[in-house]
Structure 1
């Protein structure tokens, strides 16, 4: 199963990934960077909404 990976060198902390994600609480923001909540990764529905909406192209999916 693929899960989001954030390239922190590209992430601007805009929070678009968390705002658009249909599952509340999957995204956290630490030091102005997106962090995928690994404790809740089983809740991810792999819809690619975070990746598709990231203006910086900081999110990819990998196993």
Structure 2
């Protein structure tokens, strides 16, 4: 199953991924970079909302 991956060289830390994700708490900002909460990965519904809303194009999906 595919999970979100953040290219930290592109991430601006805007938080759009976290604010648009329908599952509360899957995303957090650490040192101004988006981080997908791996220990909650099973809660991800793979809706692509984070990827589709990221203005920097920093999110891709990978297994």
TM-score band, normalised by shorter chain: over 0.9
TM-score, structure 2 as length reference: 0.99
Q: Give ranges in structure 2 of 5+ residues lacking alignment.
A: none
Kindly report structure 1 stretches of 4+ aligned residues shifted beyond 2 Å: none
> Does the residue aligned with 1:5 lie in a helix, a strand or coil?
strand
Q: How far, CA to CA, are the matches of 2:3 and 2:31 in structure 1?
A: 22
TM-score, structure 1 as length reference: 0.99
Q: Give ranges in structure 1 of 5+ residues lacking alignment.
A: none
Q: How big is the alpha-carbon RMSD for the aligned residues of Structure 1 and Structure 2? A: 0.3
**Across the two proteins, how many residue pairs are aligned to each other?**
63
